[in-house]
Amino acid sequence: MKLIFLGPPGAGKGTMAVRVADAASIPHISTGDIFRYNIKNQTELGKKVKAILDSGELVPDELTIELVRDRLGQDDAKSGFILDGFPRTVPQADALSEMAPVDNVINFTLSDEEVVKRLSGRRVHPGSGRTYHILFSPPKVEGKDDETGDDLVQREDDREDAIKNRLRVYREQTEPLIEYYRSRGKLVDLDSSPAPEEVFTSLRKILSL
């Protein structure tokens, strides 16, 4: 099963990708996670992309495409994968169709207002990647990770200015992919506004999992 999860930031693509990857035994490939891992470990790639991620702009296509080409070339991705956050531009989608044509594209839909609400309340435990939401899924102790008690942080790109920029970038550069895949008969829309459990149930039906 080769899947793309498309949709605005904060629509729950990552959360659903983790669950589907587990249920279908395929890798979850998040370009955002790969960039953040490199930033955290201060690799050459990380140093190159940090300011771009902090601002909510997109990393250049060539760099991102090569990164995904490498990742899809690994053994665990041969029989299937979930791409979360890639492609984000038409050139990326064209490159992907040559590398590894996908079976289905799930289009997670969510209003701008809901995106801002979800992202601005998100808090992360930097050590593990565990995420919380100050309203919808708060930690047991305010500002602290449930398991370690470490401080939670807000992602630089979850601050209000960066959220607005990410949404603008999404509408301008990524949204055209909806028509791109719809016209190829691959797109399925999924309303992301209900609670995660309900979204996952709908997703299982779509994917026959």
**Strand 28-30 relative to strand 122-124, pairing:** unpaired
How far from 39 is each of 44, 51, 92, 160, 175, CA to CA, in Å? 9, 10, 22, 21, 27
Task: Select 27 or 85, whichever has its Cβ closest to ligand AMP.
Answer: 85
Report the nearest approach of ligand AMP to the CB of residue 64 (Å).
4
Judged by CB under 6 A, the stretch of 40-48, 56-64, 69-77, 126-134 that binds ligand AMP is 56-64
Nearer to ligand AMP, 85 or 139 (CB): 85
**What's the N-to-C CA distance of the chain in angstroms?**
11
- Nearer CB in complex with ligand AMP: 118/166: 166
Enzyme catalytic residues: 13, 88, 122, 155, 166
Contacts of 99 (CB under 8 A, 6+ apart): 68, 69, 72
Calpha distance 106→24 (Å, rounded): 15
Q: How far apart are CB 23 and ligand AMP at their closest, in Å?
A: 21
How long is the chain?
A: 209
Closest to 104 in 3D by CA, of 206, 34, 26, 179: 206
**Site membership for ligand AMP, residue 17 (CB under 6 A):** no
For residues 145 to 164, the per-residue mask of contacts with ligand AMP, x marking binding by CB under 6 A and - elsewhere, is ------------x-------
Contact flag: residue 2 with ligand AMP (CB under 6 A): no
Smallest Cα–Cα separation from 77: which of 152, 131, 27? 27
Q: Using the rule CB under 6 A, is 86 a contact of ligand AMP?
A: yes
153 - beta bridge partners? 124
Q: Quick one: 35 or 180, whose CB is closer to ligand AMP?
A: 35
Token output for 31: 């370009």
Among residues 118, 122, 123, 166, which is the contact residue for ligand AMP, using CB under 6 A?
A: 166
Residues that bind ligand AMP (CB under 6 A): 9, 31-32, 35, 52-53, 56-59, 64, 85-88, 92, 157, 166
